[in-house]
Structure 1
Amino acid sequence: MPRSRFSGSLSTPKVEVMIDTGNPFLNLTVDGFLKIGTVAAARAVAEDAYDVLRKGNISRHKFEHSLKKMCKEGAYWGTVAGVYVGLEYGSERIRGTRDWKNAMIGGAMTGALVSAASNNNRDKIVIDAITGGAVATAAEFLNYLV
């Protein structure tokens, strides 16, 4: 039975956290969930902090709303990222090669899955699959440039 480990390191300006479940697919999926979920939660906090500073007051209700929004955004975008990373890794394993096509496949499948879970419009699902594939492919190409 695989052991679960938690390890992390903190060095400026990069924070790296890795959870070892003993399975590369699960490792990448959880890592994607944690990283993007944290970014989404931080964005929600920053947006609400700006709103509080602009209006000059905060209430218990606004604070609770902000906390719920932070958790909801983090969970949603973390899940989307986890699905994408898992599908990209699965594509890599099935195809036996590591290239930009895996990002395109993973992005398209993630876009279609997220869209299908939220609506039943077939045209919207296809458009979201195309968008997901295009965004993932563009991000992969940008990684090659940097």
Structure 2
Amino acid sequence: MPSCRFLGSLTTPSVHVTIDTGNHFFNQTLDGFLKIGTVAATRSIAEDSFKAINGGKLSKHGLERSLKKMCKEGAYWGTVAGVYVGMEYGVERIRGTTDWKNAMIGGALTGALVSAATNNDKDRVLSDALAGGAIATASVFLN
């Protein structure tokens, strides 16, 4: 029975941009902000482009709304990512070790901080802290 195999590897393109602020903490935080902010902005514009194409409507008002949404989403998620990266780095420096616990603590602190900034419900802040810690820990184990 004839068969064939594909041997090779697929790689994704990578773009590296380095901005040196002179402080490793700020470098890490800015890097997280830029990477995740770009992903969020790209997702937002792709979603709105799909809706415009699928709906058959493209207008100046719709384009302006999409650009505002793109900037808002990019800034929000970039800020959350920057806070998380900064928290994780700070925890790593305080503990003096690199392990999954840094991600868990950084994720929990970030979840609590972002939640506290957006609402006043203590139970919600605690729930978001637990979710942030769980997601950050899971991401370390999955990587």
Q: TM-score, normalised by structure 2?
A: 0.91
Q: Which of 1 and 2 has greater Rg?
A: 2
- Structure number with the higher strand fraction is 1
Letter in 1 for 2:128: D
Find the aligned partners of 2:130 and 2:59 in 1 and give their Cα distance. 42
State the structure with bigger RCO (CA 8 A, min sep 6), 1 or 2.
2
Within 5 Å, give how 1:26-105 maps onto structure 2: 26-105=26-105
- CA RMSD for the aligned pairs? 1.1
Letter in 1 for 2:48: D
Instruction: Return the offset for 1:17.
Output: 1.2
Instruction: Return the offset for 1:30.
Output: 0.1
Letter in 1 for 2:20: D
Find the aligned partners of 1:13 and 1:34 in 2 and give their Cα distance. 17
Where in structure 1 are there 5+ consecutive unaligned residues? Answer: 1-11
Where in structure 2 are there 5+ consecutive unaligned residues? Answer: 1-11
Number of equivalences: 133
Q: Which 10-residue stretch deviates more, 90-99 or 13-22?
A: 13-22
Letter in 2 for 1:88: E
Q: TM-score, normalised by structure 1?
A: 0.89
Runs (4 or more) in structure 1 with deviation over 3 Å come to none
Q: Percent identity?
A: 70
Q: Which whole-Å deviations, capped at 9, do the CAs of 1:6-62 have from their partners, x for residues lacking one? A: xxxxxx611111111110000000000000000000000000000011011211110
